[in-house]
Amino acid sequence: MAELNLQEIHDLLITVAHEAGRMMMAATPSYLFSGTKKNSADLVTDTDQAVEKMVSTRLLTAHPDFKFIGEETYHPGQQLTEGPTFIVDPIDGTTNFVHAFPAFCISLGFAVNKSPVVGVIYNPFLDELYTGIKGKGSFVTRNGTKLRLPLKQEPEPLKDLSTCLIGAEWGSDRTGNNFAVKTKVFAKLAASRDDGGAMVHSIRAVGSAALNLVLVASGQQDVFWEGGCWAWDVCAGWCILVEAGGIMVGGNPGDWEATIEGRKYLAIRGAPNGQKEIVEEMWAVIGDGKMDYES
Ligand code: LIP
């Protein structure tokens, strides 16, 4: 296979992201809802499916030798290989999309050797475009201005969890072990130190893993922790995060070698020091009650 031109792939993904954004904004929110997947909190719309069809057609026409994994066409057993692969969520934050809550996006990742090397995330409601190429940094473009990430040129050191703004999501699984782990961790993160908690500044649930990751890449959230999301939710944001000096590890204690398909993630913003300590503090909060989402 010829050498990959990541810049050209990045440029193509941006064109496709803008086209997807126009499709999302042309859909009328009150008529969007078309159905549920595994339960009443796991939504899908006609627009998710139409955007994915457009995206896969465009990307595979340009690169017929590459693989494609998309949320709406994924089937159990489909696995990421070492080959060049587009990993796409046509609408991340579908629940927000249905409610016209302004935090939804297209997430376009590109992985080689199972590692994210290009990421493009576009929120059409706010017209915010996040981009990254391995080794070339990451950026946000809004109101026609392109800024390098993180937004602060000299991010502060990370002190401890009590100084952090945390992104964490409920997800759509509302029963069993994983829901119990999440509710326990949320309570421990929020609780006062006198009561044995971490007393973080606060916890946000913006409703899109991809947008959580770019918030951490930007330095606007210090941490993002989630179990249950999928490769298409994190591939693009992972590239953007790392290019902004952030790190990604596993969402369960001890997992320093997170994988794209691992389904349990912990992202920490760029900082001159303190990243490892925040990871260990988060894992201590999780303790023995591990999440058991299957890869
Ligand atoms: C969603 C995520 C969200 C997570 C949900 C789901 P969707 O993706 O981004 O953060 O909590 O479990 O995976 O369904 O909107 O594409």
Is 38 a residue whose pLDDT tops 60? yes
Mean pLDDT (the chain) is: 95
* CA-based radius of gyration for the chain: 18
- Residue 72 is labelled as binding a ligand: no
Query: Are the C-beta atoms of residues 265 and 251 closer than 8 Å to each other?
Result: yes
Ligand 1 within 6 A of CB of 9: no
- The pLDDT of 129-148, averaged and rounded, is 97
Mutate which of 38, 42, 92 for ligand 1 pocket (most atoms within 8 A of beta carbon): 92
> pTM here?
0.96
Query: Are the C-beta atoms of residues 162 and 275 closer than 8 Å to each other?
Result: no
- The pLDDT of 235-250, averaged and rounded, is 98
pLDDT one-digit tens code per residue, 1-27: 568 999 999 999 999 999 999 999 998
Cα–Cα separations (whole angstroms), residue 241 to 57, 170, 172, 247? 28, 22, 24, 7
Helices (H), the chain: 6-26, 46-62, 94-99, 176-190, 209-218, 231-243, 275-286
pLDDT one-digit tens code per residue, 153-172: 999 999 999 999 999 999 99
Active-site choice (72, 233, 240, 243):
233
Is 43 a residue whose pLDDT tops 80? no
Helix axes 46-62 and 6-26, enclosed angle (nearest 10): 150
CATH classification code of 6-148:
3.30.540.10
Ligand 1 within 6 A of CB of 228: yes
Q: Do domains 6-148 and 161-286 have the same CATH topology?
A: no
Furthest-apart CA atoms within the chain: distance in Å: 60
Q: What pLDDT does residue 84 have?
A: 98
Domain coordinates in residue numbering, the chain: 6-148, 161-286
- 161-286 CATH choice from 3.60.40.10, 3.30.70.20, 3.40.190.80, 3.50.50.60: 3.40.190.80
